[in-house]
Structure 1
């Protein structure tokens, strides 16, 4: 009996050793395979600046090193950027999937998520995939470093709903802007654990695109428009999709030839979800390109207004009424109560070989109940009423041709132009029969030394929290260079008693340069206050 037990023990010991050896060999094989995968990934990451797949492989290698989620509190603000998303968490954390505490949900009411975007430094474009959280009450930033995040992108769309943050589409641009990669993926971020999840599509879904817009109404995310550009192929869309957030399923709506907005991107898209609203989404403006018979591309800036009835999924074109914003693209908009608040934008004027970019920093409101536009007049801080200002215009002439003496009217003006005082002389060009201003120092312009505005810009990011409008970043042009901003502003929408600068930003204005035109008399033109008043009146209002 004893000899038999000893034999069994020896066999068992031998068997255990075999299992251990097999496990060791398995681990060794896995290590070798992992090393092979890393070498393949490193080889894939080697490429030129215009090799998008190599660039994305480099990003994947970097993201792979992140083992745990890290929230870096009170960090430095995000780098300058535009075409990012700026999303209020509002009450969406309260029903989170991971059952977070009430204190976290309460704090989330003051929080905004900034995700992605792009930055152009004058030579190269950088596309981001980082995630920041802004606490507007504390005026502090936190960076959230996540495991296995989506690829960097700009021109995407994001929204928060029931404990999750969703993002769809967008594009990745090579640094030299020669190659583009558009996405059609949908991601979901758990707002309690900060873990990303790529959602698999059930059935048909929107094609790859950027510049589209998404609005959420009662558990449905409605997507419209956008564009697709590979450098060789350019498409603009006007298709309509609805995403059921609970079932995670897309459905398409509309028929060919249906009465609807024309293909476009970068438009304003807002939903009337106020109490008693019947579910309507509005499309305003936008941008597209057309190709003429000679193969030349020309931009089209829209200023039409449409309404989508979500109960019938039918479009209605709406007459523009009230004091409307002038035609522009890159205008930012956010819904607030039963109105939409619009800020800024840009319009390009083409005159022969010359292109003039006219930037805005005015505020308008569209009342969805009355279907009418109203200007939002900002009053000086501390005032209870009286005269205020709407904003300024910044016009920049892009290089590409000369300006004839007949078109040019340069002067040093110390009087008021459209009610605004400027600190430096500026040139005035006649554009399309109207006089517009070219500011040398546009960062902060004062009216009577009392009202301060953010500088004119397009592609700024807007969000409303507890009746306060917050503005972050965007772009404008100073002389012949494009500038990406990282400043942060806010204004109380109930009082409109002045903008408050929360974050100055890192951009430094160039010093104004004197030219022979400024000192010569041949092209200068003296203007008195009556002429300036006439110029102010020419801006007018649209009511068509």
Structure 2
């Protein structure tokens, strides 16, 4: 029996030996596979890094091209002098096409005066399209342009949003860098550390540099039918990269809420002048009847007050008005007013540019204490004729504002205006003096004794009257780009470009004529030839006897110009659609289909009734039933119509929501914008001329 078991034991031993050998081979193979995987992992890591590098380079690649002309027609862009003193930078803007569509831009242009050359820069990493933003230049890091805020709307202007993002543009590399919202307050003036410690979303604010701080004030916010103007003061430390808000004691005087003002550097801080705001009275009307239009749209008001914002770091506690480390203080500046030495009447749309090297040897532009002066061109003055008509005067004057440097830290300073007129040659003076006469476009020409215009007269070089022109001063030369002009019920975005040497004041140089001014002149001649003429009275001409303003009366029945092609901001509505349909019944960013239908169901109910020849109830009626059916059919068909419109707009809404998220708005901000039922800035779509105020008066 034992002999029979021996082969089995031998067989088991062989099997164990074979299993051991197989395990050894398997272990070796496993080790080999593991080693191979590690090598593959190393290869993958290198591939990932290479892919990351290529994606980064792609997102930071800056394209540069030379263009043959200034930026395309646009308004509410920024024109900023380079800290190096060699270039001008134009960023963003908007354009209203003849069909009433709004187009916003985010491109960057650079102008080189020595070459009379424009270059365009673009990169994937950049701010979204916008207008009415703020830009300020800083010399640090080879030159930076800081950008904040602005506004953006859909082409039909049925949805409208403000930005609150903050960017820096490197003049050396032409690259944009977004500055995160984080940061903390400092010195008791902030609101604590954490995210979103920065100014709220807004347009029309202004920024200026004080040492290494970006100073921001004011602006407006409007996603509905009411515009909210702001008066908060913020400081951004460019060394610590932090925002904080300055707080003042309740009894401290600060400028009223406003936008579109001038914010200029001064020896003792910054000068704040003018601007625009709106008042919303409970009722405005005649014979005790409320004027609902004014209650909703507000009454626009141009401001002409001036403040010195001083920073008293080195002063004693007796002079300190704030707990902030910089101790900012607003002091109202007294400026003597007179008919001949003040830009009257008060005007808006004329933000000044700072001239730091104003020559003290030139009497018309003398600078006290080397403080420099603010230079103003153009603007618009509005005056209500009655509740239905408004008269607007557009200016082509050049003024200088200077504030002296007397007093401790600028306290007790005073200022004055200086009319910056063109110089007349000695030969012309010997000829016996010239009388001013009106040009066809409302400007001025100088007539000699024989009433013939002198082709060499510098007054003939004055740019057309306008407001919201973009100004910048570089090496004693003022540059004037584009602007807005209104004629009757039409609004024109200008496209010309001019320059004037402020030291010589011997005439303007037209760097780019454009085409729009010729269109305006042709329209003026048509009006005069047709017997319509300008609706300016003799009294208006007396007010404009210096020939510096172009007067136009706007009303709702300017039938001569109504509906013609090629004019700005007056697009036609879709056939069969009312303004209310286009505005109130369009989906908003962040709005769900259910919320959209709930907001607009009355409209769709009436559409269903119209399609079925039913009985139409009044607006807001709770019982809308057609003659041939019940309310269930109305709700079903109405929802289908709303869904169709919602899906039609969905791709556009998704694009807008993406831009808004990139601008720093979260989902709640976007939903709040939708809940406000936005109808365009200021409640006016496409400008709203003809008895109302243009959306550009902000």
Structure-1-length-normalised TM-score: 0.71
Task: Give the 5 Å matches for 1:200-219.
Answer: 200=180, 201-203=182-184, 204-219=197-212
Given that 1:225 and 1:237 are in contact with CA atoms closer than 8 Å, whether structure 2 keeps it comes out as yes
Closer, same or farther: CA 190–505 of 1 in aligned 2, 3 Å: same
What count of residue pairs does the alignment treat as equivalent? 431
Q: Is the aligned partner of 1:325 residue 2:360?
A: no
Closer, same or farther: CA 460–537 of 1 in aligned 2, 3 Å: closer
SS of the aligned residue for 1:513 comes to helix
Q: Is the aligned partner of 1:518 residue 2:531?
A: yes
Bigger RCO of structures 1 and 2 (CA < 8 A, at least 6 apart): 2
SS of the aligned residue for 2:381 comes to strand
Task: Give the 5 Å matches for 1:26-45.
Answer: none
> Which residue number corresponds to residue 315 of structure 1?
330
Q: Is the aligned partner of 1:156 residue 2:133?
A: yes
C-alpha deviation, 1:252, in angstroms: 2.0
> Which residue number corresponds to residue 450 of structure 2?
none
Q: Which moved more, 1:315-324 or 1:151-160?
A: 315-324
> Which residue number corresponds to residue 416 of structure 2?
372
Given that 1:71 and 1:143 are in contact with CA atoms closer than 8 Å, whether structure 2 keeps it comes out as yes
Task: Choose 1 or 2 for highest CA Rg.
Answer: 2
C-alpha deviation, 1:514, in angstroms: 4.7
1:497-529 per-position Cα deviation (integer Å, ceiling 9, x unaligned):
101000112324144325797289xx999x8xx
> Which residue number corresponds to residue 398 of structure 2?
363
Query: After the TM superposition, which segments of 4 or more aligned residues of structure 1 sit over 4 Å from their partners?
Result: 5-13, 19-30, 64-67, 382-387, 514-517, 530-535, 537-540
Q: Is the aligned partner of 1:473 residue 2:482?
A: yes
Task: Give the 5 Å matches for 1:13-162.
Answer: 14-15=33-34, 17-18=36-37, 68-91=61-84, 109-122=85-98, 123-161=100-138, 162=140
SS of the aligned residue for 1:482 comes to strand
1:270-295 per-position Cα deviation (integer Å, ceiling 9, x unaligned):
121xxxx2x23222211111112143
1:79-108 per-position Cα deviation (integer Å, ceiling 9, x unaligned):
1112111111133xxxxxxxxxxxxxxxxx
Closer, same or farther: CA 247–148 of 1 in aligned 2, 3 Å: same
Q: Is the aligned partner of 1:351 residue 2:352?
A: no
Distance in 2, Cα, partners of 1:155 & 1:65:
29
> Which residue number corresponds to residue 427 of structure 1?
none
1:356-411 per-position Cα deviation (integer Å, ceiling 9, x unaligned):
2211110111122261111001125x669969xxxxxxxxxxxxxxxxxxxxxxxx
Given that 2:73 and 2:482 are in contact with CA atoms closer than 8 Å, whether structure 1 keeps it comes out as yes
Distance in 1, Cα, partners of 2:301 & 2:375:
23
SS of the aligned residue for 1:332 comes to coil
Find the partner of 2:436 among 409, 419, 422: 419
Closer, same or farther: CA 237–494 of 1 in aligned 2, 3 Å: same
Given that 1:121 and 1:484 are in contact with CA atoms closer than 8 Å, whether structure 2 keeps it comes out as no
> Which residue number corresponds to residue 647 of structure 2?
none
| Structure richer in strand, relative to its length | 1
Unaligned stretches of 5+ residues in structure 2 = 1-23, 50-56, 185-196, 284-294, 313-326, 357-371, 405-413, 448-452, 550-698
C-alpha deviation, 1:534, in angstroms: 8.2
> Which residue number corresponds to residue 681 of structure 2?
none
C-alpha deviation, 1:258, in angstroms: 2.3
Given that 1:383 and 1:497 are in contact with CA atoms closer than 8 Å, whether structure 2 keeps it comes out as no
C-alpha deviation, 1:248, in angstroms: 1.2
C-alpha deviation, 1:486, in angstroms: 2.1
Distance in 1, Cα, partners of 2:514 & 2:548:
30
Task: Give the 5 Å matches for 1:451-466.
Answer: 451=459, 452-466=461-475
Task: Give the 5 Å matches for 1:422-433.
Answer: 422=439, 424=440
SS of the aligned residue for 2:259 comes to coil
SS of the aligned residue for 1:14 comes to helix
Closer, same or farther: CA 514–184 of 1 in aligned 2, 3 Å: closer
Q: Is the aligned partner of 1:339 residue 2:340?
A: no
Distance in 2, Cα, partners of 1:470 & 1:137:
13
1:291-334 per-position Cα deviation (integer Å, ceiling 9, x unaligned):
12143311111111222222242222222225111201111201
Given that 2:167 and 2:179 are in contact with CA atoms closer than 8 Å, whether structure 1 keeps it comes out as yes
Distance in 1, Cα, partners of 2:385 & 2:540:
24
Q: Is the aligned partner of 1:263 residue 2:282?
A: no
C-alpha deviation, 1:167, in angstroms: 0.5
Given that 2:436 and 2:445 are in contact with CA atoms closer than 8 Å, whether structure 1 keeps it comes out as no
Closer, same or farther: CA 336–13 of 1 in aligned 2, 3 Å: same
Distance in 2, Cα, partners of 1:539 & 1:165:
34
Distance in 2, Cα, partners of 1:534 & 1:293:
33
Given that 2:483 and 2:494 are in contact with CA atoms closer than 8 Å, whether structure 1 keeps it comes out as yes
C-alpha deviation, 1:335, in angstroms: 1.2
* Backbone CA RMSD of aligned residues: 3.8
Distance in 2, Cα, partners of 1:421 & 1:321:
29
Unaligned stretches of 5+ residues in structure 1 = 31-63, 92-108, 388-415, 425-440
Distance in 1, Cα, partners of 2:353 & 2:505:
16
Given that 2:92 and 2:131 are in contact with CA atoms closer than 8 Å, whether structure 1 keeps it comes out as yes
Closer, same or farther: CA 342–386 of 1 in aligned 2, 3 Å: farther
1:99-136 per-position Cα deviation (integer Å, ceiling 9, x unaligned):
xxxxxxxxxx3211111111122412211111111101
Distance in 2, Cα, partners of 1:538 & 1:494:
23
Distance in 1, Cα, partners of 2:264 & 2:25:
81
SS of the aligned residue for 2:504 comes to coil
Closer, same or farther: CA 11–385 of 1 in aligned 2, 3 Å: farther
Task: Give the 5 Å matches for 1:172-183.
Answer: 172-183=152-163
Closer, same or farther: CA 135–383 of 1 in aligned 2, 3 Å: farther
Distance in 2, Cα, partners of 1:535 & 1:114:
33
Given that 1:517 and 1:524 are in contact with CA atoms closer than 8 Å, whether structure 2 keeps it comes out as no
C-alpha deviation, 1:480, in angstroms: 2.0
Distance in 2, Cα, partners of 1:378 & 1:515:
29
Given that 1:214 and 1:269 are in contact with CA atoms closer than 8 Å, whether structure 2 keeps it comes out as yes
Closer, same or farther: CA 461–533 of 1 in aligned 2, 3 Å: closer
1:15-67 per-position Cα deviation (integer Å, ceiling 9, x unaligned):
4654577799999999xxxxxxxxxxxxxxxxxxxxxxxxxxxxxxxxx9866
Q: Is the aligned partner of 1:506 residue 2:515?
A: yes
Given that 2:217 and 2:232 are in contact with CA atoms closer than 8 Å, whether structure 1 keeps it comes out as yes
